[in-house]
Chain A
Amino acid sequence: AQSVTQLDSQVPVFEEAPVELRCNYSSSVSVYLFWYVQYPNQGLQLLLKYLSGSTLVKGINGFEAEFNKSQTSFHLRKPSVHISDTAEYFCAVSDVDGGFKTIFGAGTRLFVKA
C-alpha cells in the first residue's frame, strides 16, 4: 500500500519569494506522482505529474518538482510566488498497476503575503 506525507501543513511566504512544498511517499511498487492545487470551494486541478523519464518535471503556473527515488521524495518548488498562488496543494501517488487508486497527502496550505 502507498502512503504520502506532506511535511508542512501551512507555508506562509512573501510575494516574489521562492517556495518549496515538501512531499515524501512510501510504496512497495512503482508509482506515478502528482501535485494538485485546490482553490477555495473548488475541485482539484493537476499542477504536474511524474510518470517516468526525467526526474525534473515542469507544470503549470511556473511550478516544478523533482522526483528523488532514493529519498522517496517529490518536492514542489516555485522560484517566485504570486498572491494568486495562495491555495491548498496536494501531493498524490498512484500505483502503475491495475486499479489506479490515487492516495493523497493531507495538503499544504500556501499563503502568499504582500
Chain B
Amino acid sequence: SQTIHQWPATLVQPVGSPLSLECTVEGTSNPNLYWYRQAAGRGLQLLFYSVGIGQISSEVPQNLSASRPQDRQFILSSKKLLLSDSGFYLCAWWSALNTGELFFGEGSRLTVL
C-alpha cells in the first residue's frame, strides 16, 4: 500500500533562519507531488506541484522554493524565513492510477518567531 511521510512534524525557527521540510512517498511510482500551506481560517493554499523529477511549478510568488531530487521525494525550502511563513504545511500526492483524489501526509507545523 501507498504511504506518505512528512518531517519534521513540528518546528520553531527564528526569523531569518533556513528551512527544510521533507516529504517522501512509498508504494507508488511517478506520482504528482504537492505542497500546500494552511493558515488559520484561510483553507489550503497550493504552493508548489511537481509532475516529475526536477519539474517544479510555483503557484504563488513567495519566500519559499521546492525541489524534487528523486521520484518520490519532495522538499520545501527557504533561505531566510519570515514571520508570515508560519503555518501548517501539507504534502500530498496524486497518481494516474487513482481516481482523482489527493493523499496527504500528517503535516508539519512551522512557527517562526
Question: Which residues from chain A sit less than 8 Å from chain B, CB to CB?
Answer: 6, 9, 32, 34, 41-46, 49, 51, 90, 94, 99-107
Contacts and interface: CB of A to CB of B under 8 A. Distances in A.
B32 interface: yes
Contacts of B32: 100
B46 A43 contact: no
A41 B101 contact: no
Contacts of A94: 100
Interface stretch (B69-77, B78-86, B103-111): B103-111
Interface in B35-60: 36, 41-44, 46, 49, 51, 59
Nearest to A43: B104
A10 to B, nearest CB: 10
A49 B32 CA distance: 19
Contact of A106 (B36, B41, B105): B41
A41 B107 contact: yes
B49 A51 contact: no
B90 A100 contact: no
B11 interface: no
A100 B100 contact: yes
